């Protein structure tokens, strides 16, 4: 092996179990916010809304009110799943001519290897900002199933913002990776950089000062909590946001916000091994997962543990699907890019579940902060191919194609909610976790700790912890590279999941995530210790 990582170190996460509800999230504080809402009598959807907004404060470069995503909701009393789709859209006044190609065979430096646009205007800066959908999606879900008030479920996020963003080593690491782009926007530079160029780092001699102030974000969230989603889509917050984006040269308008609607869909139900997997339809990776599972059921005969034949089938199914997706849908994300999304899963004491994936797209989105709201803005325009005449070419008022893949599954008395962050790496991770749970009857702990591959590109990324026989079989059939499972960058996506069986509820997060954690309802209090 050519990396520097220890060959004797073992990393594990404890799978927490409870008769009550719990939240498994990419950030501990977000999970605790959701668990506190459950403890206050909230439904799984209440907890999902609380977790969603808290996550946008706790790791603002991954998601938040200025982004989009989708949620799969499972109602235990109805034995029914539903989907809320709150993906981003391109602004109605967007002009494709405003994104001239750089030419000369240059390729974009961000997530998608599209032909490069002059000054990366489709990736960074105000012209990269799409119409956000997260607030609308959460409002729709809460209106349908919430038990607590909108104000109550947003209060944890308000409290987190008022306290500021703790400056630990992982915060500084994330800022460092985007510092040169954050420096281009004066408002982002003031928030995340010292002297406009150096990543903010903790001062370990003054622990009380190790925070980034989020004063304006706290005020925005407090207003949103009091007035509801309408103030974001047409009210004071919306007007401020649109003006901020236009002042910085972007296309987002108040009309775009007024016209935005989150959408309810029936999930695509995938029959698999006598059970059912409920996936998001339309412009997500849900239909891709459905095709993958249909092929996997045909190619894999489960016996004992996943073996070389299993992993060869994983690789073939995923490579075939990405060839189809690339040709028909325009998805061309660079899998080497760092994870830039967040996923969390919720189950309440009644068995209701939510699988939620939300994103700004790139880490730190457009690398632009709206000064009037105090929030990082998305760069959803980057989802579109800037070259005209392609399956997903840039244009006005178009829905963005997303790689997100939240699912709810049912099999032999167990129900689970899963998903992951990590762009193109999401689909391979979710497919393998479903297979581990359903094909091989793994516990949630076994599934999350088991080594995976990533086959979202021509080169198969192989975890060195897989057996020599599996590694040899993959090496014989496919171009491959060994990639250790680390906390930065993520080579295999960053999942979070919950599972309910006859023994109660349990949750787990990616074992290498330094912030990911599960929070139990019975241990919850707010603010957390």
Residues 99-130: tens digit of each pLDDT:
999 988 788 766 677 889 999 999 999 999 99
**Residue range 292-321: mean pLDDT, rounded:** 96
CATH (residue range 21-164+213-523): 3.60.20.40
**Residue range 389-418: mean pLDDT, rounded:** 93
Give ∠ CA 438-351-288 in degrees, rounded to 5: 40
| Domain extents in the chain | 21-164+213-523
**Dihedral sign for Cα atoms in the order 325, 331, 335, 336:** positive
For position 326, what pLDDT does the model report? 59
pLDDT-above-90 percentage for the chain: 83
Question: How many residues in total does the chain contain?
Answer: 529
336: number of Cβ within 10 Å: 15
pLDDT at 191 over 70: yes
pLDDT at 205 over 70: no
Tokens in use for 39? 């403890």
- Per residue in 3-34, pLDDT tens? 788 888 889 999 999 999 999 999 999 999 99
Q: What are the residue ranges of helices labelled H in 40-168?
A: 44-58, 134-145, 150-163
**Residue range 367-371: mean pLDDT, rounded:** 98
**Residue range 186-192: mean pLDDT, rounded:** 97
**393-402, 463-472, 508-517: lowest mean pLDDT where?**
393-402
Higher pLDDT, 106 or 96: 96
Nearest C-alpha neighbor of 310 from the set 324, 296, 323, 322: 296
pTM for the whole thing?
A: 0.95
- Per residue in 241-275, pLDDT tens? 999 999 999 999 999 999 999 999 999 999 999 99
DSSP 109-140: SSSS-PBPBGGGTTTSSGGGPPBP-HHHHHHH
For position 335, what pLDDT does the model report? 41
Q: What are the residue ranges of helices labelled H in 397-521?
A: 426-438, 444-449, 468-477
- Per residue in 34-77, pLDDT tens? 999 999 999 999 999 999 999 999 999 999 999 999 999 999 99
CA 97 to chain centre: 30
pLDDT at 2 over 80: no
For position 338, what pLDDT does the model report? 47
Tokens in use for 135? 């607030």
- Per residue in 323-360, pLDDT tens? 876 555 444 444 444 456 899 999 999 999 999 999 99
Bridge partner residues of 47 (DSSP): none
């Amino acid at each position: 092996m050519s990396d520097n990582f220890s060959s004797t170190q073992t990393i594990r996460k404890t799978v927490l179990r409870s008769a009550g509800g719990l939240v498994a999230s990419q950030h501990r504080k977000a999970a605790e916010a959701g668990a506190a809402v459950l403890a206050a009598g909230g439904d799984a959807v209440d907890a999902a809304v609380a977790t969603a907004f808290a996550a946008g404060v706790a790791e603002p470069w991954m998601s938040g009110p200025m982004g989009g995503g989708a949620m799969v909701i499972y109602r235990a009393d109805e034995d029914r799943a539903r989907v809320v789709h709150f993906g981003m859209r391109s602004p109605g006044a967007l002009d494709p001519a405003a994104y001239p190609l750089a030419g000369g065979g240059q390729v974009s430096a961000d997530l998608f290897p599209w032909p490069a646009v002059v000054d990366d205007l489709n990736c960074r800066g105000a012209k990269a900002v799409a119409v956000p959908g997260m607030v609308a999606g959460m409002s729709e879900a809460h209106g349908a199933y919430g038990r607590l008030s909108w104000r109550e479920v947003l209060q944890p996020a308000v409290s987190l913002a008022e306290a500021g963003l703790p400056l630990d080593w992982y915060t500084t690491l994330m800022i460092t990776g985007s510092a040169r782009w954050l420096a281009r926007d004066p408002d982002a530079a003031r928030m995340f950089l010292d002297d406009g160029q150096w990543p903010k780092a903790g001062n370990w001699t003054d622990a009380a000062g190790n925070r980034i102030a989020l004063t304006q974000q706290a005020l925005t969230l407090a207003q949103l909590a009091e007035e509801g989603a309408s103030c974001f889509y047409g009210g004071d917050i919306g007007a401020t946001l649109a003006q901020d984006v236009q002042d910085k040269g972007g296309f987002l308008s108040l009309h775009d916000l007024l016209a935005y609607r989150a959408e309810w869909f029936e999930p695509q139900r995938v029959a698999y091994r006598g059970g059912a997997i409920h996936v998001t339809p339309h412009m997500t990776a849900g239909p891709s997962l459905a095709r993958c599972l249909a092929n996997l059921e045909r190619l894999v005969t489960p016996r004992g543990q996943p073996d070389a034949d299993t992993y060869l089938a994983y690789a073939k199914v995923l490579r075939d699907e990405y060839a189809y997706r690339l040709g028909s849908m325009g998805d061309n994300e660079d899998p080497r890019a760092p994870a830039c999304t967040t996923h969390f899963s919720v189950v309440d004491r009644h068995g209701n579940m939510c699988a939620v994936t939300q994103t700004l797209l790139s880490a730190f989105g457009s690398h632009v902060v709206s000064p009037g709201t105090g929030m990082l803005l998305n760069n959803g325009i980057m989802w579109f191919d800037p070259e005209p005449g392609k399956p997903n070419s840039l244009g006005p008022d178009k829905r963005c194609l997303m790689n997100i893949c939240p699912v709810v599954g049912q099999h032999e008395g167990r129900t689970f909610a899963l998903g992951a962050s990590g762009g193109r790496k999401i689909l391979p991770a979710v497919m393998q976790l479903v297979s581990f749970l359903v094909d091989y009857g793994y516990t949630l702990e076994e599934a999350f700790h088991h080594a995976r591959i990533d086959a979202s590109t021509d080169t198969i990324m192989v975890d060195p912890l897989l057996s020599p026989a599996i590694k040899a079989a993959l090496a014989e059939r496919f171009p491959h590279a060994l990639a250790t499972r680390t906390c930065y960058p993520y080579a295999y996506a960053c999942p979070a999941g919950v599972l309910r069986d006859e023994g109660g509820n349990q949750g787990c997060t990616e074992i290498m995530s330094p912030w990911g954690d599960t929070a139990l309802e019975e241990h919850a209090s707010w603010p957390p210790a």
